[in-house]
């Protein structure tokens, strides 16, 4: 199951950060230029966020994350995918209260907390609900352990397991000072991650 990762820098003040990268990545995977990627938030109906979809290719899984002047897009055919990234200088003062639930291992450092957070958000994006669901209602493995979805109790959302979670690192194009995670669901096979573009670096 091949997952393509695309990286790009985001210009300050860009109106829809990462949208051009989304469209380029989808077009490259589909082998055609006439690709329209739409996003709709299930909570508020906004077209500025929500799970990206190619209207005439619903089997193409897409996910976008952007923060700290970077955009990351993941593309997979025949499965669902989610990515998240956070800079290490993210303010984590109240993040534990939002991210951690009763079945999570407490994070011992801010980096561990960001790892837990990106894993959870990647899973929620792959499922298609994003942060409309409460991240504390799913548990992931401890940050120093192999990435795994441990438990799922999100109200009104079916358990998506098997979920294949990957802690992304330098081999996946992740620049220094960034924590990033990938989740794939809807397939029994784990992802073969291929970095297609990297315009951002350490």
**Domains contained in the chain, CATH given:** 2-197 (3.90.470.20)
- DSSP annotation of 88 reads T
User: Pairing between strand 192-197 and 2-9?
Assistant: parallel
Dig out the tokens for 4 from the structure.
């393509």
Dig out the tokens for 182 from the structure.
């990938």
Q: What gap in Å lies between CA 166 and CA 180, rounded to an integer?
A: 9
Reading the chain (202 residues) residue by residue, the pLDDT tens digits are: 899 999 999 888 788 888 899 999 999 999 998 888 987 766 666 656 678 999 889 899 999 999 989 999 999 999 999 999 999 999 998 999 999 999 999 988 999 999 999 999 999 999 999 888 999 999 999 999 999 999 999 988 999 999 999 999 999 999 999 999 999 999 998 999 999 976 554 4
Contact 18, 73 (CB under 8 A): yes
3-class DSSP state of 167: strand
């Amino acid at each position: 199951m091949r997952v393509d990762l695309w990286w790009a820098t985001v210009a300050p003040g860009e109106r829809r950060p990462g949208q051009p990268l989304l469209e380029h990545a989808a077009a490259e995977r589909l082998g055609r230029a006439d690709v329209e990627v739409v996003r709709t938030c299930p909570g508020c109906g906004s077209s500025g966020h929500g799970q990206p979809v190619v209207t005439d290719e619903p089997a193409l899984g897409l996910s976008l994350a952007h923060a700290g002047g970077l955009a990351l897009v993941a593309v997979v055919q025949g499965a669902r995918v989610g990515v998240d990234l956070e800079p290490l200088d993210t303010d984590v003062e109240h993040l534990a209260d939002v991210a951690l639930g009763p079945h999570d291992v407490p994070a011992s450092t801010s980096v561990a907390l960001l790892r837990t957070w990106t894993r959870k958000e990647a899973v929620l994006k792959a499922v298609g609900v994003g942060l409309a669901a409460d991240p504390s209602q799913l548990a992931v493995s401890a940050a120093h352990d192999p990435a795994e979805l441990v438990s799922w109790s999100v109200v009104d959302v079916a358990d998506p397991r098997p979920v294949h979670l990957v802690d992304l690192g330098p081999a996946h194009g992740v620049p220094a000072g960034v924590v990033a995670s990938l989740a794939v669901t809807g397939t029994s096979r784990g992802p073969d991650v291929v970095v297609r573009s990297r315009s951002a670096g350490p």
